[in-house]
Amino acid sequence: MSRLATFLIGVSFLAGVAIAYPAQVRTYETLTLDFRLNHVAVVGDSYTTGTNEGGLGSRSWPVRAWQVLGSRGSRISGSVAAEGRAGYATPGDHGSIFEDLTARAVQPDDALVVFFGSRNDQGVDPATLTVKTNAALDVARQLAPAARLLVIGPPWPTADVPPSMFLIRDVLAGAAGAAGATFIDPIAEHWFVGRPDLIGADGVHPNDAGHQYMADKIAPLIRTQLST
């Protein structure tokens, strides 16, 4: 994956909702407003940091997800720690694994911790990957005991998924279940499959439209976790 610096950002969004009333037609949209400020931490790899292919800065999926959630009445304060080439067991561009990134992102008052990835763990021994995944989830539990955990496995942009990705998926699903976390499987849900327009020229990383696509997928998952 592209080399990107680790970043830690906090973003809060509060979006108002405008409802249009065409002549002689009154249209209502019912929103469930959440007046709390929900603290959400995100841990990820270059699918979260963004790359030269897209998703840098305000175009990243987390920022766009906060905007989507804000427009639906959920106030979010987001803390993101992500590093290119990082995984649960694979050091990233600056030597961090997800356990390290979790320690940077998670705060005691977080309501939710989101883990996303990582295809970078291809080739890691399953036993090692299990230990490292458990360690990252344990850190989140220790730092934010009341937080819910949402573990999103790595997507693959085509229908031709290599066996190594299924292995990662299965390890993450098992670890999430053991930790009481919710697991989401982008491979089974065919994220990006049949949508080459959402992937950059490198064939790996999402472009700006791909980050909006991820935001549209992940924002409802976050909202569900915050409302249950």
Q: Write down the H helix ranges in 8-92.
A: 46-49, 61-71
Distance of CA 123 to the CA centre of its chain: 22
- Considering 46, 60, 77, 96, which one is annotated as catalytic? 46
190 labelled catalytic: no
- Considering 109, 202, 216, 227, which one is annotated as catalytic? 202
202 labelled catalytic: yes
Q: Write down the H helix ranges in the chain.
A: 46-49, 61-71, 98-105, 126-143, 163-179, 208-227
Cα separation, 67 vs 80, whole angstroms: 15
The residues near 163 (Cβ < 8 Å, ≥ 6 apart) are: none
The answer to whether the beta carbons of residues 143 and 81 sit under 8 Å apart is: no
Tokens encoding 105: 């992102």
Q: Could you tell me the CA-to-CA distances from 55 to 35, 62, 95 in Å, in that order?
A: 29, 9, 22
60 labelled catalytic: no
Enzyme catalytic residues: 46, 202, 205
